[in-house]
Amino acid sequence: MKEEISLEELEIRSWKKRLVWSWSFTIPIVFLMYFSKLTGMMLFEEKTMIILQLILAFPVIFIFGSQTIKAGFRGFYTFYFSMDSLIALGTVIAYLTGILQFVFDIQDYSGISAMIMSIFITGKYIESVARGKAGKEIKKLIELGAKNARVLRSNKEIEIPISEVKIDDVMIIKPGEKIPTDGIVIKGESSVNESMITGESLPVDKKKGSNVIGATINQYGILYVKATKIGQDTFLAHVIDLVEQAQSSKVPIQKLADKITSIFVPVILILSILTFFGWYLFFDELTKGIGAAISVLVIACPCALGLATPIALTVSSGIGAKNGILIRKGEAIQTMKEIKFVVFDKTGTITKGEPEVREIYSLIDEKKLMLITASLENLSEHPIAKSIVKKANLKKYLEVKNFKIVSGKGVGGSISNKKIFIGNEKLMKENEISLKSIQAKIDDFENKGYTTMIVSENKKIIGIIGVADAIKEDSVRAIKILNKKGYKTIMITGDNERTARAIASQVGITMVISNVLPEDKSKKVKELQKKGKVAFVGDGINDAPALKNANVGIAIGTGTDIAIEAGDIILTNGSLMGVVKAVNLSKATFSKIKQNLFWAFAYNVFAIPLAVMGILHPVVAEIAMASSSITVVANANLLRRKKI
């Protein structure tokens, strides 16, 4: 089977081929130019030397450098000038001096033109190698996937290529093997190392009913997994797609740099013309004027400016992928540094999203209360409903009629012609059910941080169920760090204020927005945006509108449950420390982008005046220009040393 070659590898090979061939012709030119100067001996007479240089330089400029020449001169008839425009014009003018030398008394720069183009191609090759290294994270992600799968077909265990796995195939994964594709465990127990996807070092326990992600590694037990997603629908494929999106996206500062480049290039073209006429008209130096004009064109080529942001984003997105942070939109990198408020959804974000029944207060027989409650809640998919059903642990449920879900408030229905409501105080008040007799108990539950589910039968309260969701182990640590960094942390929830504050106080959040329906979260985000920029952290599914409306949406979730399309930044594990890492990575990346832009401009600002004054030789100018690009690439790769 033929090995698939990446676009980055093809680009590296292309530039390497041009580099080898261009220097194959340029080295003899250098030998011809400097042999007589070093030895005092003439190999050929001057006219012959110039002809040889023109012959040798031609393929360097017009064959190996043809891509640059075409792209550069395209700007002169489209009026959209690029960095290639300066190199193309500079090398062609330098080459033409060799021909014009036979007519006018000017210095021959034709050999210099080949040197400029060869150095430019060398710089491009070094850049492509650096880009390739930065883009290797995608290749590594692709390589994570299993190549083969062991599946059950006609009750026989066979091994097939991963491409032949079908949905609903039962895969057998032995200890130490990679899980071929996303699926659900139907038999067996084990722990799975998901660090390559989530960045979380501790293995995750898996049993019947657990979701598993393709490319993760089974630890000790044999798992039987039914394939639920294949090919481009798998979680790993989505991760790869997101990393590629991030590497090709632009941040606002890059758009500014692009605008500057579009103005900068024409200005340099005019400056080059003025430099030539300045030397020729005021100093009668035709040769000096041509050399200085070529130097201005070459040194001013803003290659480094074009590289400054993309190379930093490429490196950053690779680092993020390793740490379970997927940057879906590059602009989030810049916006993050301006964030004032970090708003957290409660359930599944600060808490584990796996509520448990902690306390039951019954005004009737407790078994009867749980039978009625579980019969209704069994028809709901809400996590709180599932916790009540789990607690009741019934084999048979009562018949429910007219079942309905009241969003953000609870459920209702009829059992044995009796009207049942289960939900919060809002639901009870809407249905004119008095809470006076149990208000003290409600207050007690809420002070303990319980989500209080009130149960009524024919408008009479028959019990209260206190449900609590365990706080994630590192939520306290993450929020403490964010508070220390100066962010205003806020919790937003559908719980009443007392319950919400009890949870918030446990994790160190002082501002709480409670009693908020899911559809109203985005409105609260918009209200906060009047005071400053907002990052919203949610589970990426129920919180999608708020994630979209926030200045930066951070979707937090685990494995296949994550709603990849919801956020600007996506965390592949459930830890809030991922938010801290995302903040640190964003700041580090934007810092590198600013440093790169500084270096890109610094070379030009310092060197252009020297070129205008005729101090900078065209070859030295090209070496300096190539150096600026290499500096930017090297600086971006220093991001890898940053601990996030």
Q: What is the per-residue pLDDT across 377-435, written as a single tens digit (0 to 9) for each?
A: 999 878 788 889 999 989 899 999 999 988 778 899 999 999 999 999 889 999 999 99
Q: Given 84, 108, 345, 543, which residue is catalytic?
A: 345
pLDDT at 457 over 80: yes
Question: Sorting pLDDT into bands at 50, 70 and 90, what band is 561?
Answer: very low
| 227 compared with 76, residue with greater pLDDT | 227
- pLDDT value of residue 590: 86
- pLDDT value of residue 565: 64
Out of 96-105, 175-184, 318-327, 563-572, least confident range: 563-572
- pLDDT value of residue 362: 93
| Mean pLDDT along residues 621-630 | 77
pLDDT at 620 over 90: no
Q: What is the pLDDT of residues 497-509, one digit of tens each?
A: 887 888 888 899 9
What DSSP line would sit under 130-191, residue for residue?
A: HHHHHTHHHHHHHHHS-SEEEEEETTEEEEEEGGG--TTPEEEE-TTPBP-S-EEEEE--EE
Q: What is the pLDDT of residues 115-142, one digit of tens each?
A: 888 888 887 887 777 666 655 555 555 5
Beta-carbon contacts of 466 under 8 Å, excluding residues fewer than 6 positions away, are 357, 358, 359, 360, 361, 445, 448, 450, 451, 452, 453
- pLDDT value of residue 196: 62
Q: Whole-angstrom Cα distance, residue 220 to residue 157?
A: 20
- pLDDT value of residue 533: 92
Question: Sorting pLDDT into bands at 50, 70 and 90, what band is 350?
Answer: confident
| Mean pLDDT along residues 575-601 | 87
pLDDT at 438 over 50: yes
- pLDDT value of residue 2: 44
- pLDDT value of residue 560: 37
Active site includes 520? no
Out of 343-357, 495-509, 535-549, least confident range: 535-549
CB 423 within 8 A of CB 411: yes
**Averaged pLDDT score across all residues of the chain:** 83
pLDDT at 639 over 60: yes
Report the DSSP beta bridge partners of residue 553.
536
Question: Sorting pLDDT into bands at 50, 70 and 90, what band is 24?
Answer: very high
- pLDDT value of residue 1: 38
Q: What is the pLDDT of residues 52-74, one digit of tens each?
A: 999 999 999 999 999 989 988 88
- pLDDT value of residue 342: 94
Question: Sorting pLDDT into bands at 50, 70 and 90, what band is 214?
Answer: confident
Q: Whole-angstrom Cα distance, residue 385 to residue 387?
A: 5
- pLDDT value of residue 5: 62
Q: Whole-angstrom Cα distance, residue 588 to residue 591?
A: 5
pLDDT at 490 over 80: yes
| Mean pLDDT along residues 445-455 | 88
Q: What is the pLDDT of residues 563-581, one digit of tens each?
A: 456 678 888 777 889 889 9
pLDDT at 191 over 90: no
pLDDT at 356 over 60: yes
Radius of gyration (C-alpha) of the chain in whole angstroms: 34
CB 178 within 8 A of CB 146: yes
Q: Which backbone phi and psi does 156 adopt, to 5 degrees?
A: -115, 145
- Tokens of residue 191, six digits: 């722990």
